[in-house]
Amino acid sequence: NAGVTQTPKFQVLKTGQSMTLQCAQDMNHEYMSWYRQDPGMGLRLIHYSVGAGITDQGEVPNGYNVSRSTTEDFPLRLLSAAPSQTSVYFCASSYWTGDEKLFFGSGTQLSVL
Amino acid sequence: GENVEQHPSTLSVQEGDSAVIKCTYSDSASNYFPWYKQELGKGPQLIIDIRSNVGEKKDQRIAVTLNKTAKHFSLHITETQPEDSAVYFCAASIIGSYDKVIFGPGTSLSVIP
């Protein structure tokens, strides 16, 4: 059982470039989400989804897009990367039954130059 | 909105001693308080959680206490071991409201052998 898988682990972009961070889970979780982790600021919610075809914004959604075409996958797209998006990104998933336990992937460290 | 503060930001203890991390929250509607442990290079992992109808919960060397009146909750680790060294995050949320999980800024715990 792989859990939550994120790719790539590391990425360096130039300002203005676009890219997609991949996230897949094999636990049949309905809820999936993306967080960014910055020093001294904990984890902040970017976007989340409660099922295929349903997405919504979190606390810091600007500059990011998501889609959820299948239960398993929840990619995060950076349309035009900015240095302010340098961060560590985590994907998380959970059952949508009131059980709040989040399962996190191992993260993607992104640097935007 | 909810705000979660966490103290201390760094903590060093001798192996075998106890460690205590404290968090405060602002939204009295919050009713679920998880703690996550993040080891170097990995994603956060849930270690213990508590709901607002319980004042204390214990799991082997780890315990969490909740004071709803004062809006604070704490993580207690007894008989610390080097493998307890990690970053610990507290969070506060409203059960069923996945967009309202607010994390504290984290505590870096070092256990000195």
pLDDT single digits (tens) B39-93: 998 999 999 999 988 899 999 999 999 999 999 999 999 999 999 999 999 999 8
Q: Do A90 and B105 touch (CB under 8 A)?
A: no
Could you give the C-alpha distances from B111 to A1, A55, B82, in angstroms and in order?
A: 31, 41, 5
Answer with the residue of higher pLDDT: B22 or A99: B22
Could you tell me which chain B residue has the CA closest to the CA of A109?
Answer: B41
Distance from CA of B42 to the nearest CA of A (A): 5
Q: Do the strands A76-78 and A4-7 form a parallel or antiparallel pair, or are they unpaired?
A: unpaired
pLDDT in tens, A59-95: 999 999 999 999 999 999 999 999 999 999 999 999 8
| Chain B residue numbers touching A95 (CB-CB < 8 A) | none
Residue B6 has pLDDT above 80, yes or no: yes
**Paired residues of A43 in beta bridges:** A37
Phi first, then psi, for residue A99 (nearest 5°) are -80, 120
Beta strands in chain A (DSSP E): 4-7, 10-13, 19-25, 31-37, 43-51, 54-57, 64-66, 76-78, 87-94, 103-104, 108-112
Q: Do B4 and A42 touch (CB under 8 A)?
A: yes
Assess contact for A66 and A73: CB atoms under 8 A.
no
| Chain A residue numbers touching B106 (CB-CB < 8 A) | 40, 42
Q: Quote the mean pLDDT of chain A.
A: 93
Q: Do A102 and B101 touch (CB under 8 A)?
A: yes
User: Average of pLDDT values for A12-39?
Assistant: 95
Residue A20 has pLDDT above 80, yes or no: yes
The beta-carbon neighbor of B98 closest among A31, A106, A107 is A31
Residue A96 has pLDDT above 80, yes or no: no
Of the pLDDT bands very low, low, confident and very high (cuts 50, 70, 90), residue B18 is very high
**Range in A46-60, A95-109, B3-17, B57-71 with the lowest mean pLDDT:** A95-109
Distance from CA of A100 to the nearest CA of B (A): 7
Whole-number Å distance between alpha carbons of A106 and B23: 25
In eight-state DSSP terms, residue A73 is: B
Whole-number Å distance between alpha carbons of B78 and B49: 17
Of the pLDDT bands very low, low, confident and very high (cuts 50, 70, 90), residue A99 is low
Q: Do the strands B10-14 and B107-112 form a parallel or antiparallel pair, or are they unpaired?
A: parallel
Q: Do B106 and A102 touch (CB under 8 A)?
A: no
